[in-house]
Structure 1
Amino acid sequence: MDTSELNRFVVILIYGSLVLLSLLKLSNPIKVNRKANFWFGIFLFLWSSFWLDEILFLVTDSTIEIHSLLFVRFIQFFTPITFYLSVLFYTNPVFKFKISDLKYTILPVIFLISLIFIEFGFYEFQYVILSLILFQALFYTGLSYFTIRKHQKKIQQFSSNTEDINLNWLEYIILILFIVNIVYVIYNLSYNPNSLNFFINSVFLLVIYFVGYNSLKQKEIYPVEERQREELISIDENAETEGVRKKLISDDELLKLKNQLETLMDIEKPYLDSELNLIRLSELLSISTHHLSYVINTGFQKNFFQYVNEYRIEYAKKLLKDSSKNKLSILGIAYESGFNSKTSFNTTFKKLTNQTPSEFKK
């Protein structure tokens, strides 16, 4: 099988995988992250359309340039926007569109007008088209990346284990696609682009399988109950680093709650629950989530993630020193200490002690 035949096979896999994955996300059989999965499904379907010409050629054995149709080009222009909207709803499921969000339609309208001018023979607008495509792709890719980074800070304010909800996989997709596009542009300037097709398509196929695996196992990020969800989303991700904070309680009340929290952590050890979050801990302390967040941020100068995991690491250190626990593996100690994976345990342990658990045990 030569390279061209392999490339055809890869193209079929790409298109089929994207369409199937799109249908799975739109139908959302496990009913999680509903709005995010809807927009992600639309994004995948639009993404698949970029291979439609090649698929039709393989089926009909004749060149059919679907991508040159005005309607298709206009719809494909929305691909980066739908990706950003999926990121937006993953990170903020209670987001609602406002009148001000009409600003997102400005570039598509300019794009459509440029397409119409080209249809009437004003081919100089082709440069406007290319500029708009490039700008929109870079703008929404960058906006999606910074939205995910902001989300990764926010979830540390209410979750003690962030590995399953940090959306790292979306961040990796953005970086990989950005690098692939740079390679493609540079190669096009210097070499025959056709020779790169197989390589680029192979990379895209791997990215699609990576997307499929991670998107299908993505858990619900925020609680399903709307009141709790809105409470957590309203917590400021920068609260623990702000120089001036809004004072929610008096200094005396703060000191009292700090002591109560430390007593609770020492006696009941709620941190050993791998599913512990701000809501559960606030219920144990019988205070609101906002007050508990304020106590941890202001009273201990930490976020919720840091505060809970420091207790877990101290508990793990005791287990590692305890000769009666020698039968426990590192993974066993991680689970005993409240972590839900060896990776998160090793990363947190190394960050707080400058040693791996194995090094500390020796």
Structure 2
Amino acid sequence: MNASELNNFIVILIYGSLVLLSLLKLANPLQVNKKANLWFGIFLFLWSTFWLDEVLSLITHHSIEVNSILWVGFIQFLTPIVFYFSVLFYTNPTFRFKISHLRVLILPVIFLTILLLIKAGYHQLHYVIISLILFQALFYSGLSYFTIRKHQRKIQQFAANTEGINLNWLEYIILIILIVSILYVIYNLAYNANSLNFFINMIFLSVIYFVAYNSMKQKEIYPVEEKQREELISISNSETEEIKRKLISDEDLLRIKTQLEKLMEAQKPYLDSELNLIKLSKELSVSTHHLSYVINTGFRKNFFQYINEYRIDYAKKLLKDNSNNKLSILGIAYESGFNSKTSFNTTFKKFTDQTPSEFKNSSDL
């Protein structure tokens, strides 16, 4: 098999994988993140069309340029927008479309107008099309990236273990695709991009398998029960406002704060790896909004920081205690309330500037 045949095989794998993954996301067999998976499935299908020319050319043994068809080019232009809406629904399942969101159609309308002008003979506008495609990709990739980063801060208001709901995999995809796309466009403008196709396609195939693995194991980010979901979203969205706005009296704040400290010392709820704001508020018989306010205002921390400080302190004791040498690092992670070694290592490093192994070794000296 020569380089050209290998590249053709990779193209077929890319197209087939994207179409199959798109169908799986649209079918959503696990019935999680329903609206987000619907939009993500549409995004994957649109993404697959970028290899449609090559696939059809291989099947018919003739050069076919489906992507040059006006309506196909227009639909492909919508790909970054569809991806952005999938991110919005992942980070906020209660998101609703408003009339103001119609502004996302401004660039597509401009793009369609220029496409029609090119069809009418204004071929000098070809570079304007390339510029619009690049701008659209950069703009919505950036918007999606910052939406995910904001989400990662928000979920720390109600979750102590954020692994599996922090959408890191989407963040990595944005960065990889963005870098590869920019390199490809630059290379396409300056050189013959055919020599780069094999390398680019190999990267995209790897990214697609990475997407498949992570998207299929993505669990529900917010509780399925609507009331709880809306409550948590409202808490995470009003983080700064609630610190400034006085929700309860100073006496009630001190009372709940004292109750919380006693509960943490006596019952150690932080050792529950599934602990979240809802569970803890039920233990204290207070509302989630009031508990969030007490943690934010009374301790000047978010829920993630507050709970994981207790977990790290508990883990330190286990690491220092020689009688616990029979426990591995993973065992200590589970004993301390973490649900994975990766989460334990990352959080421990964040709080102590050391990995658990480094801390244990320094304690043994």
Same-fold call, TM > 0.5? Answer: yes
List per-residue Cα deviations over 1:80-136 (Å, max 9, x = no partner): 011001000000000010111111111112222222222222323333322221221
- Give the length in aligned residue pairs: 361
Does structure 2 retain, via aligned residues, the 8 Å contact 1:84–1:140? Answer: yes
Unpaired runs of 5+ residues, structure 1, are none
Q: TM-score, normalised by structure 2?
A: 0.96
Partner amino acid, structure 1, of 2:56: L
Query: Does 2:26 correspond to 1:54?
Result: no
Does structure 2 retain, via aligned residues, the 8 Å contact 1:153–1:238? Answer: no
CA distance, structure 2, for counterparts of residue 349 and residue 64 of structure 1: 55
CA distance, structure 2, for counterparts of residue 116 and residue 185 of structure 1: 23
- Corresponding residue of 1:64: 64
Q: TM-score, normalised by structure 1?
A: 0.96
Identity among equivalent positions (%) equals 75
Unpaired runs of 5+ residues, structure 2, are none
1:149–1:246 Cα change, 3 Å: same
- Corresponding residue of 1:351: 350
CA distance, structure 1, for counterparts of residue 155 and residue 112 of structure 2: 39
Q: Secondary structure at the match of 1:196?
A: helix
- Corresponding residue of 1:361: 360
List per-residue Cα deviations over 1:222-246 (Å, max 9, x = no partner): 0001111111111246836x89611
Partner amino acid, structure 1, of 2:51: W
- Corresponding residue of 1:94: 94
- Corresponding residue of 2:322: 323
- Shift of the alpha carbon at 1:252? 1.2
Q: Secondary structure at the match of 1:235?
A: helix
- Corresponding residue of 1:257: 256
List per-residue Cα deviations over 1:297-356 (Å, max 9, x = no partner): 000010000000000111111112223322110100000100001111111112222222
List per-residue Cα deviations over 1:264-318 (Å, max 9, x = no partner): 1111111111010011111111111111110000000100000000001111111
Does structure 1 retain, via aligned residues, the 8 Å contact 2:77–2:133? Answer: yes
Query: Does 2:257 correspond to 1:266?
Result: no
Which shifted more, 320-329 or 338-347?
A: 320-329
CA distance, structure 2, for counterparts of residue 203 and residue 361 of structure 1: 39
Partner amino acid, structure 1, of 2:127: Y
CA distance, structure 1, for counterparts of residue 236 and residue 54 of structure 2: 48
- Corresponding residue of 1:229: 229
- Corresponding residue of 1:23: 23
Query: Does 2:233 correspond to 1:211?
Result: no
List per-residue Cα deviations over 1:30-77 (Å, max 9, x = no partner): 000000000000000000000000000110000111001111111111
Does structure 1 retain, via aligned residues, the 8 Å contact 2:311–2:337? Answer: yes
Does structure 2 retain, via aligned residues, the 8 Å contact 1:39–1:83? Answer: yes
- Corresponding residue of 2:310: 311
CA distance, structure 2, for counterparts of residue 71 and residue 167 of structure 1: 32
CA distance, structure 1, for counterparts of residue 238 and residue 183 of structure 2: 36
Partner amino acid, structure 2, of 1:134: L
Where do residues 146-295 of structure 1 align in structure 2 (5 Å cutoff)?
146-236=146-236, 239=239, 245-295=244-294
CA distance, structure 1, for counterparts of residue 134 and residue 24 of structure 2: 29
CA distance, structure 2, for counterparts of residue 237 and residue 227 of structure 1: 15
Does structure 2 retain, via aligned residues, the 8 Å contact 1:155–1:237? Answer: no
1:348–1:330 Cα change, 3 Å: same
CA distance, structure 1, for counterparts of residue 191 and residue 210 of structure 2: 29
Which shifted more, 171-180 or 227-236?
A: 227-236
Which shifted more, 314-323 or 46-55?
A: 314-323
Does structure 1 retain, via aligned residues, the 8 Å contact 2:270–2:308? Answer: yes
CA distance, structure 2, for counterparts of residue 320 and residue 204 of structure 1: 42
CA distance, structure 2, for counterparts of residue 315 and residue 309 of structure 1: 10
- Corresponding residue of 1:137: 137
1:143–1:342 Cα change, 3 Å: same
CA distance, structure 2, for counterparts of residue 164 and residue 329 of structure 1: 23
1:237–1:243 Cα change, 3 Å: closer
1:147–1:274 Cα change, 3 Å: same
Partner amino acid, structure 1, of 2:343: S
- Corresponding residue of 2:295: 296
- Corresponding residue of 2:8: 8
Partner amino acid, structure 2, of 1:303: N
- Shift of the alpha carbon at 1:191? 3.3
Where do residues 28-39 of structure 1 align in structure 2 (5 Å cutoff)?
28-39=28-39
Does structure 1 retain, via aligned residues, the 8 Å contact 2:158–2:236? Answer: no
